[in-house]
Amino acid sequence: MEKLVITGGKKLSGEVIIGGAKNAAVAVIPATLLVDGKCRIENIPNIKDVMIICDIVAQLGAKVDIMGDAVEIDASGISYCAAPYDMVSKMRASYYLIGALLGRFSKAEVAMPGGCNFGSRPIDQHIKGFEALGAATEVKNGLISAQADKLCGANIYLDVVSVGATINTMLAAVLAEGTTVIENAAKEPHIVDLANFLNVMGGNVKGAGTDIIRIKGVERLNGGTYSIIPDQIEAGTFMVAAAATKGDVMIKNVIPKHLESITAKLVEMGAEVEEYDDSIRVCCRDDVVLNKVNLKTLPYPGFPTDMQPQMVTLLTIANGTSIATENVWDCRFQYIDELKRMGANISVDGRVAVIEGVESLSGSPVKATDLRAGAGMVIAGLIAKGVTEIYELRHIDRGYEDMEGKFRKLGADIVRVVEED
């Protein structure tokens, strides 16, 4: 069993380079199944979710060659349209295989996906998109199947803003006959990144980043080279950690516009944030008392749900009473009990957490209940008095590349230890 051991109280200082965006990579890699030729995807993060989706694509028959932070995929010869259950069950984003396989073969069969457990995460809007394009769908015995004689463009209004449904509909529509219009589309940066990838490969996607996306179907997608955008959430995690430890950190390889909602909250709390072309500096003086803030998670450009645990961790040591409202997932406060073990004063009522700031947290054995909660636990360990041990690192490794190494280079006392079961 592995654990992270953190001795808190060290200020973070120096520079950190942010890797490629997890959420973009796990959408772009399935999209290579639509391409008739070789794709080279650069700035790929070395994380478990990316390795899993690459393995799935390889098991479907694609040629996959990983070279450092790049992967070359040639899916031109695949003929298999059913994804293996044992791999799909390990990650949520595996449902993008449905849209990609449906777009390529007009049929797909994929097991219900796994990933972090945040409660009910229905795929009804995905199915609505597939059926509007002409596919018959069925969910039975843990399998999602979709099949069409021919996919044809359609006008699709998503009843709720859904990143997954937007991406899956884009994947299914890019090779469909005619024009598809997705209304009430999600606007997240990785949706724009997927659209840019499809366009580089020969697609015709317009409007990504707005609430109306128009896709004119093309006959084929060609090979090419594409570089993934920087990871908004990894960058935000280091921003919060810098403020929490009263540190001074330059965070490089970022798109500052993607971080505006995080920047706004840190500035409101009293931290200093300086933006540059492709980097951002966060510092907090010793004499600054971090202020309480209220926080509501919303679809982009609102405050990201994937930054909620990290921010709530910071609010545990802020002055006064803060309120965090989770508007995206219905069970994303499972990590609160772990923070309370460390001395945090938090009460939860449904989707609302009330955080009473305390003077300090205390080191304790805790676990990562999910990916972003794990990042929150690391930040808690960095600011706590004493030693914190974090278990269930498999969650953290799904989305952060060498997290402990990057924090150690900034001055943190953090080490990964293998412990006998």
Instruction: Give residue-wise pLDDT tens across range 64-98.
Output: 999 999 999 999 989 877 776 777 776 767 889 99
State residue 120's pLDDT score.
Answer: 47
Instruction: Give residue-wise pLDDT tens across range 249-299.
Output: 999 999 999 999 999 999 999 999 999 999 999 999 999 999 999 999 999
> Residue 63 region, left (φ>0) first, then alpha (ψ -120 to 50), else beta?
beta
Q: Reply yes or no on whether 116 is catalytic.
A: yes
Q: Is 56 within 8 Å of 48 (Cβ atoms)? A: no
Burial class from Cβ neighbours inside 10 Å (0-12, 13-18, 19+) for residue 342 reads buried
Q: How many angstroms separate the Cα of 50 from the Cα of each of 233, 401, 420? A: 16, 11, 28
Query: What percentage of the chain exceeds 90 in pLDDT?
Result: 89
CATH topology of domain 22-227: UDP-n-acetylglucosamine1-carboxyvinyl-transferase; Chain (3.65.10)
In angstroms, the CA 262 to CA 232 distance is 10
Instruction: Give residue-wise pLDDT tens across range 366-380.
Output: 999 999 999 999 999
Q: What is the mean pLDDT of the chain?
A: 95
Q: Which of 54, 81, 116, 284 is catalytic?
A: 116
In the block, residue with structure tokens 């080490």: 415
Residue 119 has pLDDT above 50, yes or no: no
Q: What is the CATH number of domain 2-19+230-418?
A: 3.65.10.10
Mean local confidence (pLDDT), 34-62 = 95
- Domain ranges in the chain are 2-19+230-418, 22-227
Instruction: Give residue-wise pLDDT tens across range 186-225.
Output: 999 999 999 999 999 999 999 999 999 999 999 999 999 9
Angle between helices 22-31 and 96-105 (to 10 degrees): 20
